[in-house]
Each structure stands twice: as structure tokens, then as C-alpha cells.
Structure 1
Amino acid sequence: MKRVLALGAVGCLVLGILVVVAANVLVVQRTDHLVTPDAAAVRSAQVAIVPGSLVRSDGSLGAVVRQRVETGVALYRAGRVGKLLMSGDNGRPEYNEPDAMRDAALAAGVSPEDVFTDYAGFDTWHTMRRAHDVFGVTSAVVVTQAPSAARAVDLARAAGLDAQGLVAGDGGRAGREVLARVRGVIQATLRPAVVGGPPIPISGDGRSSWAQVAPAVVPG
């Protein structure tokens, strides 16, 4: 009996490893031609989607999300995108990724009407699905670090976006991403519902998406 149980445990472990490997290979193969570290290789698109990450208690950006915002701003300045969509977590009143990201973009000189905020970007699938369903995005450059770029673009395309990925540095947790791609494949396949909301057309004025009035900023 013990031997049977041991063999069963080994079988489950092997199966789990195979599932993880298959999911990672699938995601990378589906997006390899769509992800680049070279901003000059990016096709023009409606918007740069900037997924959120850690914001400190004083409202300053953590290193990962700062890289993303800076890369998105550079795309905007180069004329590759016309808008920025800052999508992150604001599930608690005291924690607000989108506003911190927006304020950093404004401080860098981006026009207020070109910066949109999405306060329900609780994970990558929420961000991409809401970009399509709520903001009416059709084409986008997803700006994120190398480990998460393939999954982010795969989910964006599953959400109905003509998406490319621009690598914003090598930060992030590569090991964690190996398992995150398994969840990503499930989401891309099942396409679960996300938090909805009234339409906020990306073709309009970004300030219509703001939950709070941005403070006065001086371009840096």
C-alpha cells in the first residue's frame, strides 16, 4: 500500500512538473515574436498599458513600477503611443498604485488628458480585460519587465487586444513567473469575468478616469 501511495505521489509530482513546463513553453512560443527590449522596434499603438506594482507608503514608486512608468513615458514622448493607461491595485483606500503612477507621468511632462487610470487592475488579466472592455482599447504596447512580458502579452491578446510587449528592464521575480504562467494559461483559456464599470473611451480625456484630482506637478 505504501509503495502504491509513493508511486502515486511521484506520478502527481511528474504530472505537475509537465504541466508547468508545458504552460511556460506555450506562453513563450505564442508571444516570442511580439516582445522586444528595443523601443524602436515597437509598432505605433493607441496606448501603452503600464501594469502596477509596489508603491511605498509615502506614495513613491517602487523600483519595478518606476521602470515601467519611465518606459511608458519614453514611448509616449517618441510618439509610439498616444495615451498611457496606468492600471493597478486600489483595493484599499490607503493603497493606490494608479494615482502614484499617474502623478509620476504628469511630473515627467505627459499631458493630463493623455493619462488614464484604472483602479481595478488587481492582476494582469483584470488589467488587460478591462483595457478592452472598459476603455475600448484595440491596440497596445504592454510595458513590463522581462520575466512577466510574455504572460502579459499573452493575456492581452486573449482579452482581444492587438498587443506587443516592451521590456522595461530585468526586474521582477523570474522564479515566481514560472508558476504565474500556469495561471495565465488558464485565464487565457477560460477568460473569466472581471470587475466591470461604465465605458471610459481611451479616445477621450484621461482625466475622466481619475478618481482624485491630481496635485500640481512640475515637469522633471
Structure 2
Amino acid sequence: MDEEDCGRSADLKRPGLWKRILKRVGLLLFTLLCLGFTFIAWTNVAAVLAGAGKLYNDPERLPDDGVMLVFGCDDRIDGRENLYFRYRIDAAAEVWKAGKARCVIVSGDNRTKYYNEPERMRQALIEKGVPGDKIICDYAGLRTLDSVVRAKEIFGVEKVVFISQQFQNERAAYLAKANGIAEYTGYNARDVEGQGGMKTRLREVGARVKMWLDVKVLGTRPRHLGEMVPLPE
């Protein structure tokens, strides 16, 4: 072992050296953890701010003549009724009966002929008294981002009313603002309580991180676009 290697070996054996190294590594990890939590918190707050003053629990407070955009989900989960589906349909029917919308877009996933969220929403709304000729299906609403952007670019919507639970309406508000939809509001459907609701709210934290990255970093676009589709008169 030459003299330089002997010096390095001696340095590593000095009292307290490893302790100082571990302390610095710990401080670095703590700093990164704090930055990560701050980033996650900011992405979640950004959605809240986008929806501030734009989301309502009373349909009478909504502006007139908007186009409802109802976000899709499956009507059943493991053979049981999906309350998210029921409450969104109830909310859309309330807005329609209040005379605040001129037509409805039901936007969801239609991945196979056996899985068709928009058609199930359409049938449920008809049963609630919404005229079938005022409902149009968007079969390519694979994500909230797809539904919002397609409402503008495919269906030509300029004045939109989001229909979903508040957490999704806030995220939709952020996406609408980022994609140049100036006139957006939302009507908050009843939320789901219990274990199922808690799991959804936990997933929403990650969904908002993805929302921010899609807009600010990745420039994500809908998976499917296409030609313009006219809305019902």
C-alpha cells in the first residue's frame, strides 16, 4: 500500500468521520423528502385554486345555457352499485331540471363492446327525465384530461359545466384553465363516504401530481381526437 492509500485509510478510521457522512446523507434525504412533499402539496393546491369560486353545490347558482360534461365511471363495482355513478347521474339530472344546461355530453371509456360507460350514463339520464336527443356520447373519455380537451376540440364547447364529485371537478377545472376554456363551472355531486371514498381520495393525490406533469412537463394530449362533432341544438 503506497503512502497516499495509507492516508485515505487513516482518514476513514478517524473518529466521527462516518458519523458526519451519515449525518450529511440523512440531511440530503430529509431535504429531498421535504421537497417531494412540497411538490405533492402544491399540485393538489393548484387544483383547489383552479376550482375556487367556480364549483357549486346549488344548481341555481350555475350560469344558464352551459353544456354539461358528465365524467364517466362504471355503474357497478364487483357486482355492487357504484355510488359515484349514481350520484353523478343524480347531479346531472338536478342541473337539467333547474334549466341550467342546453345539452349533455356523457364522457367515458368504451374500451370494448361489453364495456360502455357513456351509453350506461345516457340510459340512466333518460330514466331521470333528460331527453335522449339532448345527450351526446363521448366514447373516448379515457381520462379526465381526454374528456376536457375533447369537449373543446371535438365538440366545440365554450361554456362547460363539469358534473362529478368535487375532487374531480377541481382537477377538471385546472385542466380546463390550462387548455384555454375560459367559461367553466362545476356542480359537485354527492361524495362517497366510508372505505371506498377514502381509497378514492388517496388515489386523487397521485392523480393531481399526474395532472400537473401532464400540463407543465409532458404536454399530454388525448389518446384519440378526430373530426368535429356537432352538439344537439
Q: TM-score range by the shorter chain?
A: 0.7 to 0.9
Match of 2:18 in 1: none
Match of 2:37 in 1: 17
Match of 1:215 in 2: none
Match of 1:214 in 2: none
SS for the counterpart of 1:182 is helix
Change over 3 Å in CA distance of 1:196–1:59 after alignment to 2 = farther
TM-score, normalisation: structure 1: 0.83
Match of 2:59 in 1: 39
Report the alpha carbon displacement of residue 105 of structure 1 after superposing the two structures with TM. 0.9
- Of 180, 203, 215, which residue of structure 1 is paired with 2:207? 180
Identity of aligned residues (%): 30
For structure 1, the 5+ residue unaligned runs are 205-220
Match of 1:170 in 2: 191
Report the alpha carbon displacement of residue 67 of structure 1 after superposing the two structures with TM. 0.9
- The size of the alignment, in residue pairs, is 204
Match of 2:229 in 1: 200
Letter matched to residue 186 of structure 2: G
- Of 122, 126, 137, which residue of structure 2 is paired with 1:106? 126
Letter matched to residue 225 of structure 2: G
Deviations 1:20-44 (A, max 9, x none): 1111222212321111111111112
1:138 and 1:160 in contact (8 A); partners too: no
Distance 1:36 1:167 in 2: 6
Match of 2:76 in 1: 56
Change over 3 Å in CA distance of 1:73–1:30 after alignment to 2 = same
2:163 and 2:187 in contact (8 A); partners too: yes
Distance 1:98 1:3 in 2: 56
Distance 1:49 1:185 in 2: 21
2:46 and 2:174 in contact (8 A); partners too: no
Distance 2:187 2:149 in 1: 19
1:31-180 aligned at under 5 Å gives the runs 31-56=51-76, 62-161=82-181, 162-171=183-192, 172=197, 173-180=200-207
2:136 and 2:232 in contact (8 A); partners too: no
Report the alpha carbon displacement of residue 170 of structure 1 after superposing the two structures with TM. 1.8
Report the alpha carbon displacement of residue 53 of structure 1 after superposing the two structures with TM. 1.4
1:47 and 1:139 in contact (8 A); partners too: yes
Distance 1:7 1:89 in 2: 45
Report the alpha carbon displacement of residue 60 of structure 1 after superposing the two structures with TM. 8.8
Change over 3 Å in CA distance of 1:31–1:105 after alignment to 2 = same
2:89 and 2:125 in contact (8 A); partners too: yes
Change over 3 Å in CA distance of 1:17–1:57 after alignment to 2 = closer
Letter matched to residue 12 of structure 1: L
Distance 1:116 1:125 in 2: 18
1:61 and 1:100 in contact (8 A); partners too: no
Report the alpha carbon displacement of residue 176 of structure 1 after superposing the two structures with TM. 2.1
Report the alpha carbon displacement of residue 140 of structure 1 after superposing the two structures with TM. 0.9
SS for the counterpart of 2:76 is coil
Q: CA RMSD in A?
A: 2.2
Report the alpha carbon displacement of residue 2 of structure 1 after superposing the two structures with TM. 4.8
Higher helix share: 2
